[in-house]
């Protein structure tokens, strides 16, 4: 009798597990969400550049806190340690796992056509965040959201022009060094172009050197040490393409016995406006900081929700960004017919910053 009951129980369990198994598989091709414990769960594969900077940490945090289990997502996160081959492998892994969406923060712009074609052939929408991809067919990605990096570079160079004018130094020879970001990254391309175009437009500005600091503090310090050996106190302006490079450059400059700041030996400029970067901007070690907003999680979620409800989405969407400075000698910039306010940083503003 016991055996019979056991057999009945086993049969019932088998039937139930087969039914449950069927509900956990991907639904029909025209649905993307799968279910977990009876709830619709959207699986997102996110290939992140790495963890090279404070900005990147904030960007990762924004994505992880948005695509949480509590919010109805399963996030598969991969840190590529700034290597494109790792990102390509991660995307292939996401395809294998039949994720519903792939989000890519590309380390550099080129080299994505093949793997994005594989994602397209697998019917998985790809959303690009932060830096841009340079592909032969833009149907290989569904949407991009990020910063206008060339505008960031223009803002920074325009602030330097306006500051020098306000300080009565616009006729002086200005010697600049550029600690660039990762070569080939959209942020580096745009920020470098913004500076180089301004140097070309000012006969008294000279770009002494441009070298990649790879967006890291360690490399930024190393590059600055080399530039100081080569040019010493000839350097007037240090244009750092992110905060972490600025931290390294400031360490190198102070270790060499120079003072940073508007009243010092060298003016240090930066990008990102992270809390740590703005802390140095408030103290005057960084004289001007151009924001690059990393909080892409909610923006990507908005795109996914639109796609889930069958709506079309913008192919490209820029985020709005501000400019901070240590002093108030420059209050606004006019770039390509648009005015951009420059905000003198205060402790109150810094305390309210989200990242």
What part of residues 57-116 is at the interface with ligand GZL (CB under 6 A)? none
CB contact set of 182 (below 8 Å; sequence gap of 6+): 52, 82, 107, 108, 188, 212, 214, 215
E-only strand ranges, 154-232:
174-180, 205-212
Q: How many residues does the chain have?
A: 355
Q: Which is nearer to ligand GZL, 271 or 324 (CB)?
A: 271
Task: Please identify, among the stretches 51-59, 65-73, 89-97, 298-306, the one whose residues bind ligand GZL according to the rule CB under 6 A.
Answer: 51-59
Q: Applying CB under 6 A, what is the total number of residues that bind ligand GZL? A: 14
Q: Characterise 72 by phi-psi region: left (phi > 0), alpha (psi -120 to 50), beta (else).
A: left
Distance separating alpha carbons of residues 59 and 158, to the nearest angstrom: 27
Instruction: Tell me which of 112, 144, 215, 239 binds ligand GZL, using CB under 6 A.
Output: 215
Instruction: Tell me which of 63, 115, 187, 227 binds ligand GZL, using CB under 6 A.
Output: 187
Distance separating alpha carbons of residues 29 and 73, to the nearest angstrom: 18
Least spacing, CB of residue 64 vs ligand GZL, in Å: 17
Q: Which is nearer to ligand GZL, 185 or 249 (CB)?
A: 185
> Which helix (H) or strand (E) covers residue 327, if one does?
none
Least spacing, CB of residue 241 vs ligand GZL, in Å: 7
Work out whether 55 is an interface residue with ligand GZL (CB under 6 A).
Answer: yes
What part of residues 262-281 is at the interface with ligand GZL (CB under 6 A)? 271-272
Q: Are 154 and 190 in contact (CB under 8 A)?
A: no
Work out whether 46 is an interface residue with ligand GZL (CB under 6 A).
Answer: no
Task: Please identify, among the stretches 48-56, 217-225, 231-239, 304-312, the one whose residues bind ligand GZL according to the rule CB under 6 A.
Answer: 48-56
Instruction: Tell me which of 46, 52, 104, 116 binds ligand GZL, using CB under 6 A.
Output: 52
Least spacing, CB of residue 120 vs ligand GZL, in Å: 24
Least spacing, CB of residue 350 vs ligand GZL, in Å: 18
- Three-state secondary structure call for residue 1: coil
CA contacts within 13 A on the Cβ side of 349: 15
Distance separating alpha carbons of residues 219 and 244, to the nearest angstrom: 9
Least spacing, CB of residue 100 vs ligand GZL, in Å: 25
């Amino acid at each position: 009798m016991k055996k019979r009951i056991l057999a009945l129980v086993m049969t019932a369990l088998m039937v139930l597990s087969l039914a449950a198994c069927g509900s956990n598989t991907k639904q029909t091709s025209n649905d993307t969400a799968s279910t977990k414990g009876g709830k619709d769960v959207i699986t997102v594969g996110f290939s992140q550049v790495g963890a090279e900077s404070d900005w990147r940490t904030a960007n990762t945090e924004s994505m992880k806190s948005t695509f949480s289990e509590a919010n109805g997502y399963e996030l598969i996160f991969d840190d590529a340690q700034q290597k494109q081959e790792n990102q390509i492998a991660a995307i292939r892994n996401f395809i294998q796992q039949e994720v519903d969406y792939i989000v890519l923060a590309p380390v550099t712009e080129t080299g994505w056509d093949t793997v994005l074609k594989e994602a397209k052939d697998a019917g998985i929408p790809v959303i690009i965040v932060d830096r841009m991809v340079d592909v032969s067919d833009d149907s290989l990605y569904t949407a991009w959201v990020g910063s206008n990096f060339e505008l960031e570079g223009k803002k920074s160079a325009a602030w330097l022009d306006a500051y020098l004018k306000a300080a009565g130094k616009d006729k002086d020879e200005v010697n600049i060094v550029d600690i660039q970001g990762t070569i080939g990254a959209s942020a580096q391309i745009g920020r470098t172009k913004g500076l180089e175009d301004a140097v070309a437009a000012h006969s008294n500005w000279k770009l002494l050197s441009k070298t990649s600091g790879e967006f890291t503090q360690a490399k930024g310090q190393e590059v600055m040490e080399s530039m100081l050996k080569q040019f010493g106190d000839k350097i007037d302006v240090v244009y750092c393409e992110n905060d972490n490079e600025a931290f390294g450059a400031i360490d190198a400059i102070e270790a060499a016995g120079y003072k940073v700041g508007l009243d010092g030996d060298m003016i240090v400029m930066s990008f990102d406006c992270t809390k740590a970067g703005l802390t140095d901007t408030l103290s005057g070690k960084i004289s001007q900081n151009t924001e690059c907003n990393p909080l892409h999680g909610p923006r990507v979620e908005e795109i996914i929700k639109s796609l889930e409800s069958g709506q079309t989405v913008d192919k490209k969407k820029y985020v709005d960004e501000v400019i901070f400075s240590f002093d108030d000698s420059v209050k606004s910039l006019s770039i390509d017919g648009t005015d951009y306010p420059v905000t003198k940083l205060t402790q109150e503003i810094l305390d309210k910053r989200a990242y």
